[in-house]
A and B are shown apart, each in its own frame.
Chain A
Amino acid sequence: MTAMYIPLHPLKFKSKIVDQIEIYKNHFILSFTREPEERFMAGQLLALTTAPDTIPPRLYSIASAETAEESTCYQIYYNTTKEGQLSNRLAALKAGDELHRSSPFGQFIFPKSKSYFIAVGTGIAPFLSKIKSTDHFQEVKLLHGAKNLELLLGHEIFSSKLKKNYIPCLSQDSAYPGLFQGRVSDYLQNCDASKLPLDYHYYLCGSAEMVVQTRDILLSKGVPFNLISAEIYF
């Protein structure tokens, strides 16, 4: 007899919305309840939807900390897309509403040392979770891109925890001359290859275009492909 396949990420939990903040046009942080015994590792995902019978779940990286003050809640950082079925419904959720979700899953997890994180936009979520969850970093770098300062989610935490190892890049906001003006890819393209350590592992997160472009630049600067892992928001 053939074994029945049981879906690996069933939507077995209902979470209540705790809070929703629009941090900038069409960009939101959504907080919802987490079961007290639930554990996850920074970098993992949730499959979720507002209506399991009609809208197939989409995947979102967890942006909240593994531990500490956020342990009763999950947070995701998302933007609505034009005609996007789920993201526009998520944006309409209010405190007390419900969503259906899976347990955390995914293999995009990282050590707290010798890691070079590179993210653009909502792709910062896994690294935000990691950095919020960790107090003592050894040799962790973060290259973080967004259009403007409002969208550079977590920049205060990153600056205070990573100090000079935090490199924010603003692609459409010239009001902060102290910050790198341009895209993450511009920063890497102009970066001296000696500044890209070969004893670190590189973790990239964002859209397919961003990941592929960034990976190509790293490769062209001599970073071996087996030092690069990526999460694509497909």
Chain B
Amino acid sequence: MELKKPLLGLTLTELQAITQEHSMPTFAAKQIADWIYRKRVTSIEEMSNLSLGDRQKLCEHYEIGAKKYQHLYASVDGTKKYLFATTKGNGIESALIPHENHYTLCVSTQVGCKMGCLFCMTGKQGFQGQLSTNEIINQIYSIDESEQLTNIVYMGMGEPLDNYSETIKSIEIMTADYAYAWSPKRITVSTVGVIPTLIRFLEESKCNLAVSLHSPFDEERLQLMPIQNVYPIKEVIQVLKAQKNQARISFEYILFAGVNDSQKHVNELARLLNGLSAHINLMRFHAIPNSPLKGTSEEKLKEFQSALNKKGIITTIRASRGEDIMAACGLLSTLQKQGSA
């Protein structure tokens, strides 16, 4: 039996290809998009402005394709972690972070990851596969707070720019008029700096960009992030400096005790980012099992922030959220995978 294909996650162009293939009117593609993304119908039968015949044709090969989450973990601080099963049977995570009247969802783009960052639990899974646009959009569509979401961050499992085509399609669906029509300013894509797709992203998208920096020193960053071998941070910064709209760029910097939290690091960061009007998000390290890294103390974190501020670098200290439900990227699904191995 032929498996039905999901409509959720298709762009207008892809929907147009379907309507054309099934000899449906051209405007039907927009109508389908409206039913799925805005009216949130749960079946093709409900698309009442399509002719009965067209609905039947669609039903033969397609379904809406939304999948409910498998598990939900709620933290005492309001953070929630949703676990979804992928088509291939793996587990992926999305974290919902409420803050005052904002709801930010951290979405995954890959099952596991190929980048192997030393501080990351997802990296420990190795790479299991790319998520489809359907699986990315489904995380946004199928959580309980879907309609209250104010921001999306592509900062869950995986490197979004290593799954470029699906990431960019999901951004199109979030921002295009035919679907969710969000402002790109509400969306942030986080990357370790895969330069070829980073350049494309900067050209093709107006969303915010967060670059994982974590050390301004080549040797040290290499030990934390193997990508440094291929796409060194200095080259990434060179790409960013050529950007006109630098306001959408920020950096992520996790502080590790005794590793990247000294005055020497502050000085080198100031040198590296000189000429770039971007700010740094300082982050506490969510400990992961058997890690050789430890988080910097609160006192040192504040000192580091004030030293950066003195150099004219704007910083924010990102609040730690959901530690009781292991909200750090990939912790739950990796432990689940290791448990089943």
Q: Which residues of A contact B (CB under 8 A)?
A: 2-5, 7-8, 45, 56-57, 59, 106-108, 207-213, 215-216, 219-220, 224-226, 228-232, 234
Per CB-CB distance, the 8 closest pairs between chain A and chain B, nearest first, are A209-B126, A234-B114, A5-B242, A208-B114, A108-B229, A230-B226, A225-B292, A232-B226
| Bound form: Cα–Cα A212–B228 in Å | 16
Residue B52 CB within 8 A of the other chain: no
Residue B223 CB within 8 A of the other chain: yes
Which residues, 283 to 324 on B, are CB-close (under 8 Å) to A?
290, 292-293
Residues of A within 8 A of B114 (CB): 207-208, 232, 234
Residue of A nearest to B232 (CB): A107
Asked whether A106 lies within 8 Å of B199 as measured between CB atoms, the reply is no
Contact of B235 among A8, A211, A234 (CB under 8 A): A8
Residues of A within 8 A of B239 (CB): 5
Residues of B within 8 A of A4 (CB): 242
Residue of A nearest to B200 (CB): A56
Residue of A nearest to B289 (CB): A216
- Return B292 CB to nearest CB of chain A, in Å: 5
Contact of A211 among B116, B244, B292 (CB under 8 A): B116
Residue B113 CB within 8 A of the other chain: yes
Contact of B226 among A5, A211, A216, A226 (CB under 8 A): A211
A-B contact count (CB 8 A): 84
Asked whether A5 lies within 8 Å of B238 as measured between CB atoms, the reply is yes
Supplied contacts A8-B238, A209-B126, A229-B223, 11 more A-B pairs, CB within 8 Å: A2-B242, A57-B196, A106-B229, A107-B229, A208-B115, A212-B116, A215-B116, A216-B290, A228-B223, A234-B114, A234-B162
Asked whether A212 lies within 8 Å of B196 as measured between CB atoms, the reply is no
| Bound form: Cα–Cα A224–B259 in Å | 12
Asked whether A220 lies within 8 Å of B290 as measured between CB atoms, the reply is yes
Residues of A within 8 A of B230 (CB): 45, 59, 106-107, 231
Residue B201 CB within 8 A of the other chain: no
| Bound form: Cα–Cα A220–B241 in Å | 40
Residue of A nearest to B162 (CB): A234
| Bound form: Cα–Cα A57–B162 in Å | 14
Residues of B within 8 A of A226 (CB): 220, 223
Which residues, 178 to 208 on B, are CB-close (under 8 Å) to A?
195-196, 199
Asked whether A3 lies within 8 Å of B242 as measured between CB atoms, the reply is yes
Contact of A225 among B196, B229, B293 (CB under 8 A): B293
Q: A224-B292, A230-B116 are in contact. Are A209 and B127 (CB under 8 A)?
A: yes
Residues of A within 8 A of B223 (CB): 225-226, 228-229
Asked whether B235 lies within 8 Å of A107 as measured between CB atoms, the reply is no
| Bound form: Cα–Cα A3–B229 in Å | 25
Residues of B within 8 A of A209 (CB): 126-127
| Interface-centre pick from B116, B123, B124, B228 (highest chain A CB count, 10 A) | B116
Residue of B nearest to A5 (CB): B242
| Chain B contact residue count (CB 8 A cutoff) | 34
| Interface-centre pick from B226, B232, B243, B293 (highest chain A CB count, 10 A) | B226
Asked whether B222 lies within 8 Å of A229 as measured between CB atoms, the reply is yes
Residues of A within 8 A of B235 (CB): 8
Asked whether B118 lies within 8 Å of A225 as measured between CB atoms, the reply is yes
Residues of B within 8 A of A225 (CB): 118, 223, 292-293
Residues of B within 8 A of A213 (CB): 126
- Return A222 CB to nearest CB of chain B, in Å: 10
Residues of A within 8 A of B293 (CB): 225
Residues of A within 8 A of B218 (CB): 107
Residue of A nearest to B243 (CB): A2
Residue of A nearest to B202 (CB): A5
Mind listing 25 A-B residue pairs with CB under 8 Å? A2-B244, A3-B241, A5-B199, A5-B238, A56-B196, A57-B196, A106-B229, A107-B222, A107-B229, A107-B232, A108-B229, A209-B126, A211-B116, A212-B124, A212-B126, A216-B124, A225-B223, A225-B292, A225-B293, A228-B223, A230-B229, A231-B229, A232-B115, A232-B227, A234-B162
Residues of A within 8 A of B220 (CB): 226
Residues of A within 8 A of B290 (CB): 216, 219-220
Contact of B126 among A7, A57, A207, A219 (CB under 8 A): A207
| Bound form: Cα–Cα A131–B334 in Å | 37
Asked whether A208 lies within 8 Å of B126 as measured between CB atoms, the reply is yes
| Bound form: Cα–Cα A225–B116 in Å | 13
Which residues, 64 to 111 on B, are CB-close (under 8 Å) to A?
none
Residues of B within 8 A of A45 (CB): 230
| Bound form: Cα–Cα A5–B127 in Å | 31
Contact of A208 among B113, B118, B228, B229 (CB under 8 A): B113
| Bound form: Cα–Cα A8–B237 in Å | 12
| Bound form: Cα–Cα A210–B226 in Å | 13
| Bound form: Cα–Cα A207–B113 in Å | 11
| Bound form: Cα–Cα A229–B218 in Å | 11
- Return A227 CB to nearest CB of chain B, in Å: 8
| Bound form: Cα–Cα A225–B241 in Å | 31
What string of 1s and 0s marks CB contacts (under 8 Å) between B123-139 and chain A? 11011000000000000
| Bound form: Cα–Cα A36–B226 in Å | 31
Residues of A within 8 A of B229 (CB): 106-108, 229-231
Residue of B nearest to A7 (CB): B199
Residues of B within 8 A of A211 (CB): 116, 226
